Amino acid sequence: MSEWFPNVQGLWSEFITAFQQTCIMLVWSGSISFLGGLILGIALVITAPKGLCENRTVHQILGFVVNLFRSIPFIILLTWVMPVTRLIMGTAINLEGAIVPLIFGTIPFFSRQVESALSSVPYGLIEAARAMGDSNWQVIFRVYLKESIAPLARAVTITLVSLLGLTAMAGAVGSGGLGDFAIRYGHDRNMQDITWLVVISIVILVCIIEVASQIIIRRHTYE
């Protein structure tokens, strides 16, 4: 280990802190983005043409907002939402300052993933549920969400991996985490072993996400 990672031993405590910060950003931003993106994605589906609550105006407004935030590069979004970040978190820097822009950057992306997953539900199932007298809420939970567990699991996986990349990008502006750790030591001080350690850590996190996703998908995929 000392030959392959000569600088790690002296920076091990800082690496652990950076790893924990990345996990905190991933959990908090991911949880809030999951809830917000799921609600927004459902709203996009049910207000679309032939949806449960068809409303062209609402659908177009929601679509415009989603497309607006999806079109902004994350590094620019970080600075654009700084006033909102300060208002909510009290600061626009460090770990706390990264949560809000991560949410703003992830919810629009995940909402489109949810919209795609729910739209794959056969229209016949929805019509059958409505013919049996199910309310709109019952159709959403019993048909849309229940029949879309596997596609939604794939959507969550894609979103979490993307969010992990955004947490690393947030490190470029001093928000902490593995990205900040890699920039400060791996890039600025040319410690290649630190860069490799960060890369390996991120790959492990991605593998954990992928494995968990595959377990859920297998359990809810009909043969």
pTM above 0.95, yes or no: no
Given a cut of 90, is residue 92 above it in pLDDT? Answer: no
User: Which range has the worst mean pLDDT, 9-18, 71-80, 166-175, 201-210?
Assistant: 166-175
Q: Report the b/e string of 33-55 with b at 16+ CB within 10 A.
A: bbebbbebbbbbbbbbeebbeee
Q: Is residue 48 part of a domain?
A: yes
Q: What angle do CA 158, 222, 121 make, to 5 degrees?
A: 65
- The count of structural domains within the chain is 1
From the list 210, 165, 206, the residue with the least C-alpha distance to 29 is 165
pLDDT of residue 140: 93
Domain of 57, in residue numbers: 12-219
What are the backbone angles phi and psi of residue 183, rounded to the nearest 5°?
-70, -45
Q: Which CATH number belongs to the domain containing residue 140 in this structure?
A: 1.10.3720.10
pLDDT above 90 coverage of the chain, percent: 60
Given a cut of 50, is residue 157 above it in pLDDT? Answer: yes
Given a cut of 70, is residue 1 above it in pLDDT? Answer: no
Q: Is residue 146 part of a domain?
A: yes
pLDDT per position as a tens digit, 78-88: 889 989 988 98
From the list 22, 49, 1, the residue with the least C-alpha distance to 168 is 22
